[in-house]
Structure 1
Amino acid sequence: MTGLNAIGRSLLRDDADILKSASPGSTRVSSGVRWLKSIRSIQPGLVLAWIVMAIVVLWALFPQWFTGYSATAGVARQQLRAPSAEHWLGTDALGRDLLARIIYGAGNSLSGGFVAVGVGLVVGTTLGIVAGSARGRIDGAIMRGVDVLLSIPQLLLSLSIVILLGFGIVNAAIAVGVTSIASFARLARSEVVRVRASDYVEAAFGSGGTFSRVLLRHILPNSLTSVIAFAALQLGWAILTISTLGFLGYGAPPPTPEWGLLIAEGRNYIARAWWLTTVPGIVVILVVLSANRISQSFGKAKA
């Protein structure tokens, strides 16, 4: 009888502990702990990168929201004014507001970057998928062409293509996109080959699945994650390369606002008006670093 009483008391204590753990106070504590963990999991660098990219995208889409000045028309007797309340980032040698030219230049630089990434992504990924799926002679022929492209310095190849196509932001973007085709093709091929050797793909083929069905349902969805992450990385590289071409005079012609051209126009006045080169250069660096940080987050999410 004593043993039964002891068992009953232990059961009552267990029930009390369960009720205590399920009390509203403990629920609030556990929810507070989860909230603190979620706050700690936030990465400030990634948040800052998204904020920078969001601001630049808004600049490109709605530049008139951020400035009332023209990007191409100068103001008489306002040349080379230092940053002030009237002109936050100063003016250039023709009296044009530098902030307005940077904001309007975001449209040209970003659109050029997206065009370049689009060319490399579509053409290169298609070639990589065909090479990894077909194998044999087709694979060998495509990859030999990819090796030839990779053997040529990218900036030299971009300059050659721009000279053939002519100057302009679109031609510069196409040239940069062509130079990235080989990188996209090699990455896409390696991912297709890796996924195709997986057990679930072999099982799909063994269960009677056709090649096109298995390719669309299993191989492509599991192969394109790395390619998309690489595209985000290439966006920063494309913007930097297009700015380089603009700095060398092979990009957008004056007076078109473009970040590389802004840096080139201000280099002759760097001793007198340092902001003409420093500020656009900082903007390019921030955008490139932000795109790289976002690309790294995509890679970690895949892993």
Structure 2
Amino acid sequence: MTAHTPADATGQTDRAQTDSARIDPTRPRIAWRALLRPGVLVPTLILLIALAWAIAPGLFTSVSPTAQVGTALQGPSAEHWFGTDATGRDMYARVVYGASQSITAAILAVLVGLVFGSIIGVTAGATGGRFDEALMRLVDVLLAIPTLLLSLSIVILLGFGTANAAIAVGVTSVAVFARLSRSQVVSVRASEFVEAAYGSGGTFFSVLWRHVLPNSLTPVIALAALQLGSAILQISTLGFLGYGAPPPTPEWGLLIAEGRNYVATAWWLTTLPGVVVAVVVIATNRLSQSINGGAR
């Protein structure tokens, strides 16, 4: 009979604990419980509803957003949940259809900032030297210009419209994505596994594609989720100022602007669309913070 030393017993115990941890069926349940927390579930449901409004608004209302369906300036009721505007159009239908303009434009803006900002940041971080310094000075110039002023200048140059407003908002976020992606690339380049890849005969582009990019763009994608709420707010601001979709096209910022002359007599024209914008933006920020916190 073989005797077991305390060291052997300790090793067997450690291996048993490791094996049990690998097959522990409660681990996925714990992850699912984390996803079902109110701080994650509620913002997710709000964003899903807003996205459903943008994709298929006809499923949520059968009323045309541009047709007169009732008496002008009717308050919220069972027939018209958000009341009617100064021409008798249903405000709930206009808010639902306005999600298509605002959310689609915000997604386009985030994509513009993500793509071009990542290209600039990755190029600067991967090449280094004077080229890196030149690109970062350009980024510093963009960061020095106030966001609203830069977006207004771009919209004036491109012309009014939702697509042009989205491009303008996207350009204002290029510098943020560029700075973050550059810092991540520089950090990953100094890692030992990247040096080992070069030592094994890897070329510049192969190491960049296989090792640097996959390990450096995750925080950039997380930033894109956070920027979505900011983009919705900026698109609505441009629409409020008259640089977005032209009337009578429903757009969240334009809806708030159209009701500002009736604040004293028809509060719902500005309050209810404003609440929708605020709730969607807060939900986006809250969800991105929850995801980032869970990732850490």
Instruction: Return the TM-score normalized by structure 2.
Output: 0.88
* 2:178 is the alignment partner of 1:181: no
Q: Structure 1's 119 and 271: CA in aligned 2 closer, same or farther, altered over 3 A?
A: same
- Work out whether 1:234 is the aligned partner of 2:239: no
Q: Does 1:100 align with 2:93?
A: yes
**How many percent of aligned residue pairs carry the same amino acid?**
62
Matched, 1:130 2:120: no
Secondary structure (helix, strand or coil) at the match of 1:238 reads helix
- Kindly indicate whether the alpha-carbon contact (under 8 Å) linking 2:39 and 2:287 is maintained by their aligned counterparts in 1: no
Deviation string, structure 1 residues 252-296 (Cα, Å, up to 9, x no partner): 111110000001111111111111111111111111111112222
Aligned to 1:84: 77
Q: Distance in 2 between matches of 1:31 and 1:226?
A: 30
CA–CA distance in structure 2, aligned partners of residues 145 and 170 of structure 1: 25
Segments of 4+ moved more than 3 angstroms: 30-42
- Given residue 201 of structure 1, which amino acid in structure 2 is its aligned partner? V
Task: List aligned pairs for 1:128-277, cutoff 5 A.
Answer: 128-277=121-270
Q: What does the per-residue CA deviation read over 1:161-205, in whole Å, with 9 as the maximum and x for residues that have no partner?
A: 111111111111111111111111001000100111111111111
Supply the distance in 1 between the matched residues of 2:194 and 2:166 (Cα, whole angstroms). 37
Instruction: Sort the Cα spacing of 1:227 and 1:161 in 2 relative to 1 into closer, same or farther, 3 A.
Output: same
1:301 deviates by 3.9
Which structure has more helix as a fraction of its residues? 1
The one-letter code sitting in structure 2 at the alignment partner of 1:282 is V
Alignment-mate amino acid for residue 48 of structure 2: A
1:68 to 62, 72, 81: 62
Does the aligned pair in 1 maintain the 2:151–2:165 contact within 8 Å?
yes
Q: Could you say which residue in structure 2 is the equivalent of 1:52?
A: 46
Equivalenced residues, count: 273
Q: Match for 1:266: what amino acid?
A: G
Deviation at residue 73 of structure 1 after TM alignment: 1.4
Q: CA deviation at 1:298?
A: 3.2
CA separation in 2, counterparts of 1:205 and 1:167?
A: 49
Say whether residues 1:120 and 2:132 are aligned partners. Answer: no
Aligned equivalents of 2:27 and 2:111: distance in 1?
44
Between Structure 1 and Structure 2, whose CA radius of gyration is higher?
1
Aligned residues: CA RMSD: 1.9
Distance 1:169 1:194 in 2: 38
Structure 1 contact 131–142 (Cα < 8 Å) conserved: yes
Paired letter, 1:200: F
Question: Kindly tell me: are residues 226 and 59 of structure 1, through their superposed partners in 2, closer, same or farther at Cα, counting changes over 3 Å?
Answer: same
- 1:36 and 1:197, CA in 2 relative to 1: closer, same or farther beyond 3 A? closer
Distance in 1 (alpha carbons) for counterparts of 2:128 and 2:30: 51
SS in 2 for 1:70: coil
| Inter-CA distance 37–163: structure 2 relative to 1 (3 Å threshold) | closer
SS in structure 2 of the partner of residue 223 of structure 1 = coil
AA in 1 matched with 2:60: F
CA shift, 1:300, in A, is 2.4
Deviations 1:190-242 (A, max 9, x none): 01001111111111111211111111111101111100010011111011001
Secondary structure (helix, strand or coil) at the match of 1:261 reads helix
Unaligned stretches of 5+ residues in structure 2: 1-23
2:269 is aligned with 1:279: no
* TM superposition score normalised by structure 1: 0.86
Instruction: Return 5+ residue gaps in structure 1 as ranges.
Output: 1-29
CA contact 1:119–1:174 (8 Å) conserved in 2: yes
AA at the equivalent of 2:257:
A
Confirm or deny: 8 A CA contact 1:225 1:302 kept in the other structure.
no
